[in-house]
């Protein structure tokens, strides 16, 4: 049965960042390509393999593609370094206002495979860094399910947790952590790929998130 949220309900809203809040596909893929090259994994940055890696957990996908367990931390460091040196991405149109509105009703988090230090300046520039209780990047922990569980453990079980993502991996990791999942269709994965994760809700436009979460936006 579908949950019926409302502004009086205790909800926690957890956002993915890449492809949901910021239009990072080309920038992230470029940084990812550079990082992969350091570890002899250039093929992982080709479109098809790159997108397939995000059908699950990023680090698990890289391990399957040949990244050694002992190189994981080094890979994330290189990725963070490359992301920090590239131009800042833009936010998707309408996303800023949606985040500001949601923050009036719910606590918000970012749970991402990006680097926290690369995400924060983008949010600061848009004037919305203060909307988020915390940004949990891959530097904090590589596993989104684990990070979502950490946030959830700080609240009573009566709080409903929502994970908003744009990849099949997001939907699966959110489900695994017991979240109501929302798939957005303006990000990295197509609707067909996302549908394999059976998300509870679909958002075609950022404003749909307000409707899904029971906020009247006028």
Which stretches of the chain bind Mg ion, using CB under 5 A? 16, 18-19, 166-167
Which CB, 17 or 105, lies closer to Mg ion? 17
Three-class DSSP category at 100: helix
Asked if 22 and 115 count as a contact pair (C-beta separation under 8 A), the reply is no
Q: Which residues contact 165 (CB under 8 A, 6 or more apart)?
A: 16, 20, 171, 173, 174, 181, 182, 183, 184, 187
Backbone φ and ψ of 159, nearest 5°: -75, 130
Residue partners of 81: CB distance under 8 A and separation at least 6 = none
CA distance 67 to 144: 19
Distances (CA, A) of 182 to 49, 114, 193: 24, 19, 14
Closest approach, Cβ 6 to Mg ion, in A, equals: 27
User: Which of 155, 186 has the CB closer to Mg ion?
Assistant: 186
Please give the full DSSP string across 122-137, using - where no structure is assigned. HHHHTT-GGGEEEEE-
> How large is the angle between the packed helices 144-152 and 168-176, nearest 10 degrees?
40
- d(C-alpha 109, C-alpha 162), whole Å: 10
Pick between residue 89 and residue 105 the one whose CB is nearest to Mg ion.
89
């Amino acid at each position: 049965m579908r949950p019926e949220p409302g502004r009086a309900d205790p909800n926690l809203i957890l956002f993915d960042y890449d492809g949901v809040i910021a239009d990072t596909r080309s920038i992230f893929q470029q940084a990812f390509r550079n990082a992969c090259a350091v570890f002899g994994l250039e093929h992982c940055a080709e479109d098809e393999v790159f997108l397939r890696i995000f059908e699950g957990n990023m680090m698990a996908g890289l391990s399957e593609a040949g990244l050694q367990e002992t190189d994981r931390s080094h890979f994330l460091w290189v990725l963070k370094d490359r992301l920090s040196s590239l131009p800042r991405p833009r936010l998707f149109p309408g996303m800023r206002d949606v985040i500001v509105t949601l923050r009036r009703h719910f606590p918000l988090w970012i749970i991402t495979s990006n680097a926290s230090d690369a995400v924060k300046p983008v949010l600061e520039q848009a004037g919305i860094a203060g909307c988020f209780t915390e940004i949990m990047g891959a530097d904090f922990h590589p596993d989104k399910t684990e990070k979502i569980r950490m946030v959830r453990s700080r609240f009573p079980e009566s709080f409903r947790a929502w994970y908003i993502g744009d990849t099949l991996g997001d939907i699966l990791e959110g489900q695994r952590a017991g979240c109501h999942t929302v798939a957005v269709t303006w990000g990295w994965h197509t609707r067909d790929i996302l549908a394999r994760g059976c998300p509870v809700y679909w958002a075609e436009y950022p404003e749909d998130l307000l409707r899904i979460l029971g906020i009247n936006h006028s």
